[in-house]
Amino acid sequence: MVTVEVDPVRVESRLSRGDMSCPSCTGGVLAGWGFARPRPVAGMAAPVRPRRARCRGCAVTHVLLPVTLLLRRAYLAELIWAALAAKARGHGHRPIAQRLGIPRSTVRGWLRVAAARADAVRSWFLAVAVTTGVDVAVPRTTESVWGDVLAAVHAAHGAITARFGRSAVLGAVTAAQVAVAASAGRLLSPGWPPVPASDPATPVDPAADKR
Ligand SMILES: [Zn+2]
């Protein structure tokens, strides 16, 4: 996944100029390569159909996700994140739901899904951190599963912002947005994270975005 500006004309112009570099290799540039499957986005009237691009060098394809889409997803991510963080601090789903103004069943569902994949999510973000960062210190295991997951996401966040600058590249400045960006919005979606987590530049499951 590559985050791009909202204006599709500018995106096309950058693609045709060879002005968009490939995140999967060194020196490769992206060219237009069809469109990804339309995806509904909360708060938007019509589904968004993101552009796809293919590297002229390494031939890896990427979904070009407009930054607003990321941010719109990140709004939900911020809530999910707040719930997970509260859980890590020892709160139960009832007080969390009450504080966030979200139905208890929704919060319970998030926590259940997150708990079931905690190890995989932790490994994914540690891989992002180690791949992105320089001399990344892998967080030590804490007392709780939830603490471990959060520590891994924070490590990824730290590595990404240290390398690319705050708000650069992913358009993500908070740990929650990093969680969303690095998981392409699939933090709690079925089939995520993919295994193995060897290419954090393209975390989108290729099967989900067939042209
Ligand atoms: Zn490439």
Rounded Cα distance, 46 and 123, in Å: 35
Q: How far is the CA of 160 from the centre of ligand 1 (A)?
A: 19
Q: How far is the CA of 194 from the centre of ligand 1 (A)?
A: 20
Gap from CA of 64 to ligand 1 centroid (Å): 14
Question: Do 22 and 58 form a contact (C-beta atoms < 8 A)?
Answer: yes
Pairwise CA distance, residues 168 & 71, whole Å: 14
Q: How far apart are the C-alpha atoms of 100 and 111, rounded to whole Å? A: 14
CA distances from 17 to 5, 29, 58 (A): 16, 10, 18
Residue 126: its pLDDT value, please? 82
What's the longest Cα–Cα distance across the chain? 53
Phi-psi region of 62 (alpha: psi -120 to 50; beta: other; left: phi over 0): beta
The C-alpha atoms of residue 56 and residue 27 are separated, in whole angstroms, by 10
Q: Which residue has the tokens 């938007």?
A: 44
For residue 104, the CA-to-ligand 1 centroid distance in Å is: 44
Tokens linked to 19:
């002005």
The answer to whether residues 88 and 146 touch, using CB atoms and an 8 Å cutoff, is yes
pLDDT digits (tens, 9 = 90+) for 24-68: 999 999 999 999 888 766 545 667 788 999 999 999 999 887 766
Confidence at residue 54, expressed as pLDDT on a 0 to 100 scale: 96
Residues ≥6 apart with Cβ < 8 Å to 6: 66, 67, 68
Summarised one tens digit per residue, pLDDT across range 94-104 is 999 999 888 89
Locate the domains of the chain by residue range: 2-67, 68-209
**Residue 5 CA to ligand 1 centre (angstroms):** 20
Q: How far is the CA of 61 from the centre of ligand 1 (A)?
A: 8
Question: Which residue ranges of the chain lie beneath pLDDT 70?
Answer: 5-6, 40-46, 67-78, 132-136, 138, 163-211
What the block records as the tokens of 195 is 């295994």
Predicted confidence at residue 91, as pLDDT, reads 92
Nearest Cα neighbor of 71 from 41, 30, 102, 45 is: 41
190 preceded by a cis bond (ω within 30 of 0): no
Question: Could you tell me the distance, in angstroms and rounded to a whole number, from the CA of residue 113 to the centre of ligand 1?
Answer: 33
